[in-house]
Structures are given as C-alpha cells and as structure tokens.
Amino acid sequence: GQQVMQIPQYQHVQEGEDFTTYCNSSTTLSNIQWYKQRPGGHPVFLIQLVKSGEVKKQKRLTFQFGEAKKNSSLHITATQTTDVGTYFCAVGGDYGGSQGNLIFGKGTKLSVKP
C-alpha cells in the first residue's frame, strides 16, 4: 500500500532560523496537502499542491511539489514562536489507492526557542 515518510520527526530552532520538513512517497502522488496542528489543538489545512514542480507561497511559508510528484517540502523562513506546532503532509490515494482517502505522514514537530 501507499506509504508516506515525513522527516525530520522533530526540529528545534532558534527564533529567526529557517525550517524545512520533507514528505516522501514511494509512489506517484495525485496531490499533496499540508496541515498544521498547534499544541493542544487540531490540524488545520494550509495548502494543497497538485501540479508537478508546483511552488506556492504563504507569507513566510513556501511549499513545493517535486517534479516527479513523489515528494514535497514545506519551508519556513525566519521562524517565529507562532510557528510552533506539528506539520503534517497528507497524500491522496494514488491511482488505484488502497484507502480511497488521505494518508497522513507522522508529522514534524517544530519547537522555536525565543
């Protein structure tokens, strides 16, 4: 079945440093979504990428979808304490996918030291 690997599992940064989390799949993806979960909260949708090589920006966040549609990254420039939380990628079942649903990565937990 389809699997998605997300790395790193944890990342500790000093405020102002950059942060990147990666999501890798063993199969070609139809799309990928990114979510953020604040401590004690619930996941909140950030963005969806669909096209090969797509790059989207939201203020200090940059999302990329690989040319082969097997990997994606989320990059945060100059982290702030408000960026603290766990970032999840979620992939749609590929052609003939096993679940017919999104499959979530295990997440990258970001902590930011002021």
Partner 1 sequence: DGGITQSPKYLFRKEGQNVTLSCEQNLNHDAMYWYRQDPGQGLRLIYYSQIVNDFQKGDIAEGYSVSREKKESFPLTVTSAQKNPTAFYLCASSIGLYNEQFFGPGTRLTVL
Interface ranges with partner 1 (CB under 8 A)? 6, 9, 30-31, 33, 35, 41-45, 48, 88, 90, 92-93, 99-107
Whole-number minimum distance, CB 9 to partner 1, in Å? Answer: 7
Query: Which tokens sit at 28?
Result: 């070609």
CA distance 13 to 92: 30
Whole-number minimum distance, CB 99 to partner 1, in Å? Answer: 7
Whole-number minimum distance, CB 75 to partner 1, in Å? Answer: 20
β-bridge mates for residue 83, sequence order: none
Tokens 């096993």 found at: 98
Q: Which is nearer to partner 1, 6 or 71 (CB)?
A: 6
Q: How far is CA 74 from the centre of its chain?
A: 5
